[in-house]
Each structure stands twice: as C-alpha cells, then as structure tokens.
Structure 1
C-alpha cells in the first residue's frame, strides 16, 4: 500500500514534496497557486497517519518515510523526479537522496527549513513541551508561534494547529516527534551529487541558515543556500509565492529568473 497524495499540474517535470511535522501535505496548499502547472507535475503525499493516509499504519520512522516517498515515485512510474522536503520531510528527503535505489533518479533536491539528518535532539523540557503539543492544539499553536518568532500573531499558530488537528492524531504526531528529533540517519547521507537548494526562513529561531550551513550543506557537493525573507520556520505557509518561485527556479535551473533578496 502506498501513501495517498494530491496532484497539482500535468507537465513532464515531476516533483515529489514531503511535508512537515505539525500537519499533512495540506501545509503546502498555500503554494499551489504559484506553482508551474504546465511544465511540471507536483505530487504531495500525506505520510502514514496523516490526512488521506491516516488509515495506513507503520513504524512511523524516518527510514519508513523515505521508503514511502520512493514507493510513490514507483507507483507513478517516474524514472526520475525532483524532491522537495520541508522540516521533518526535509530530513526524510536527505535520507532518500543517499539511498542507492534513489539517488540517481533524484534530479534536484530542495530542502526547506529542513531538520538535520542527525536529528534535532531536545532537552527534557523541550521534549515535554513538544509532546504536549502533539496532544494539545493550544500548545501546538504556541510552538508554531514561537517558530515564526511571534511575528504573525497568535492566530497564525491557531490556524496551523487547526490544520494539524484536522489531519493528524496525537499518537501520530508523538511518534513522528521521535522520528525527527531523536533518530540519527546522518551516516546514510552519502553519494548524492546533483544540485541541492537549502532554504531557511529569515526569522526561523531554531533551524536557521547558520545551522543549515553547519549541519546540512556539508553532506552535499553542489549546494546553494538562500534565505526566504519575512518567513520563520514555515515558508510554504508564511511566504508561499516566494518559496514557490525559489523552488521552481532551482528545479528548472533558472535561478537568474528570481530577484535575490536584498
């Protein structure tokens, strides 16, 4: 059984997108109006336990997420594709890029506010807080507000927490919390030589551009980093048009078509 997914566009360039922890692939929805649908086909799976894949059980690990992404590409009969991963999904995307089964098929890799492949270890207080967020929407709203540096007000946090409540159970969120925070898959990230774009939100207080430069970029050879202006940890929701423009330009090898942030 493969993950359920949403498809946007019908072009010959294939793009597979892996979502973040707080909610399903619905978190990419704000980007949809800004995607190239003529030249590109975009597929947005829901990981096991989320959204349209809620009934699919499993181990809910980083390894399983990577394997499931590849299974979707296989089901679609994509000989090659471009891979996009946001936050937790970015960690799974890094792992898949190092797989001998997939690395030659992945034409480009785009990592948005990605969790490092070694994970993001939490101290006892932070782990308790995030675990509580998995069960309590109000706490999840506070976590989201913190990860956007409080710039968008409490209603943004409530909005994203509500999407999470609609698309993931508390048990699902708690299991994936362990996957992105505690699992270390860094030893398996090796051999990917195609272009990599690493995007970080300007105001992300946790997974900053500096952290990405230290812990993510050295794993790859052909790397370009960029900062998404006026965004925190959720560029696909906070700055969807800008994030879409940067990812599309990277995939189509047209970075000169996007004006740099100043």
Structure 2
C-alpha cells in the first residue's frame, strides 16, 4: 500500500499551512490531535482518496506549517480551517478529527455550520474537563509542560512516555514508533501555546444543535477518552452514530486503521449517497 501522498501543498496566509491531499470528489479534511501532524493519517489517505478529495493538514505551528507570533486563541484553528476549505473552492467539507482535531471540528461547526457536510468525531470531547478530572488534567499538563518549561527539555525527551500513555494494550512497536515520532517533532513553543489554549477552552459546541450527520468513534481501551464519554455525546447529538473500536487505545486511526477506515467510509458513503 502506498503510504506517501503524491500531493503536498502549502496554503498561503498567515500562518501558511501545509497539507497532503489525494483523490477527487467531496472534500474530506483530516484533523490531527494535539501531539500529531498530518503524517498520522498516512494509512487513511490511500483508502479515503478513492472516493473523496482527502486533505490532511498540519495545523498552525505543527509539522511543516508555519509558527506564529503571540498567544493562540483556540478559535484560530477554526479560522485556519475555513482558509483550507476556501482554498479548495468547496462549499462544504466533511470533517474528521481525532482528539483535539475533534475539538477543532466542533469549534468550526459552532462558528461556520453552513460549511460542514458531516462530522466524524474520534476519541474526542466537548472540552477537556468533560474527559478528565481536575487532578487528571493537572497531571496531564504537568507531565507535558513541566519538562518543557522548567527542565529545559525538548518534545523528543517526552515522546516515548507520552506515546505509551495513550496507546492501547495491543499496540505494536510500529504504532508506538509512529506516534512517538510525531510527538518528538513537535514545535516546542507552538505545542506549549496549544496546550495553554486548548485545555482551558470553554466555549463548547451545543451538541443538540448539530444538524449534520455525525459519527462518534472511540477505542475500547482509550485511557483519555473512554467509550462511555462518546456514547453520552452521541446520545445528545441528532442524527448520530456511535461505534466502539475493539483493541484500541486513544489513537484509533493508527492502532486499528482497517476498522477505523471501514467505519468512516461506511458512514461517509451513506451520507453522500443520501445527501
């Protein structure tokens, strides 16, 4: 299977954004998590691009996208996403976001609902405190911020431990290596700004207001976003589906790519055939 996308493109603006894209058809945008980048979707692009114009971005300050001056407002991600959709002259896009990527997709829908065709929300939450207790959230932030801000360490120094904390019990060495690699290449300052903005962000989407088809995907062994969290979100969302992925931790698309791809494509094919 080809895992290297044939098209990489830089989208102008401030900051400029780099995307991998393949295929033709309805626009489908893949949004990585807080420790990821566009390469996290390398096992999705070949399958999804058979029927969709599939785009995987590096969010601002991630991967090959530009860094930026000043603090981050979490809604900057949504405004950046609008630039991507406009760049490809699409009226609407299907959004597939994992973890923080799902939070970005929800934020975008709250601000630009008319530009969304459907939502795939994987291993995500309405806001961080919905997923973690105050103590767990403090530990999550301390584990990542203290080494980088107080101990002079780099993302590479926390990559292995951070990856191990997110993966399920059946994850392979290759899964661990892929996730650890994306964490190790984080832009330190941008990552810190994202943590400081994303975690306290408290303008969640009213799930009852969603008027597009939505799919919730959660790993059975996710230590961060357990399946019950997804079930509760799906119960609040009109025209939604929920699916639990066996043998997976937080990074469903990496740990169980075949099950993830099948679930997403089944959902999207239903949406596009009836819409």
Calculate the TM-score normalised by the size of structure 1.
0.84
Corresponding residue of 2:21: 7
Structure 2: 5+ residue runs without aligned partners?
1-12, 149-153
Q: In the TM superposition, what is the alpha-carbon distance from 1:180 to its structure 2 partner?
A: 2.9
The list of structure 1 runs, each at least 4 consecutive aligned residues, that deviate by more than 6 angstroms after superposition, is none
Asked if 1:197 corresponds to 2:215, the answer is: yes
Asked if 1:178 corresponds to 2:178, the answer is: no
Aligned residues: 249
Moved more, 23-32 or 77-86: 23-32
Q: In the TM superposition, what is the alpha-carbon distance from 1:13 to its structure 2 partner?
A: 1.4
Asked if 1:75 corresponds to 2:84, the answer is: no
Corresponding residue of 1:230: 247
2: CA distance between counterparts of 1:252 and 1:25?
23
Asked if 1:18 corresponds to 2:31, the answer is: yes
Higher relative contact order (CA 8 A, sep 6+): 1
3-state SS of 2:46 partner: helix
RMSD (Å) for aligned C-alpha atoms? 2.5
3-state SS of 1:151 partner: coil
* 8 Å CA contact 2:155, 2:184 repeated in 1: no
3-state SS of 1:224 partner: strand
Q: In the TM superposition, what is the alpha-carbon distance from 1:87 to its structure 2 partner?
A: 0.5
2: CA distance between counterparts of 1:133 and 1:203?
27
Corresponding residue of 1:108: 118
Cα 1:199/1:177, change in 2 over 3 Å? same
Corresponding residue of 2:100: 88
Calculate the TM-score normalised by the size of structure 2.
0.81
Q: In the TM superposition, what is the alpha-carbon distance from 1:133 to its structure 2 partner?
A: 6.7
Matches within 5 A, 1:148-227: 148-152=167-171, 156-166=175-185, 168-186=186-204, 191-214=209-232, 216-227=233-244
Q: In the TM superposition, what is the alpha-carbon distance from 1:192 to its structure 2 partner?
A: 2.2
2: CA distance between counterparts of 1:108 and 1:12?
15
1: CA distance between counterparts of 2:67 and 2:140?
29
2: CA distance between counterparts of 1:173 and 1:130?
10
2: CA distance between counterparts of 1:61 and 1:20?
16
Asked if 1:253 corresponds to 2:266, the answer is: no
2: CA distance between counterparts of 1:4 and 1:23?
14
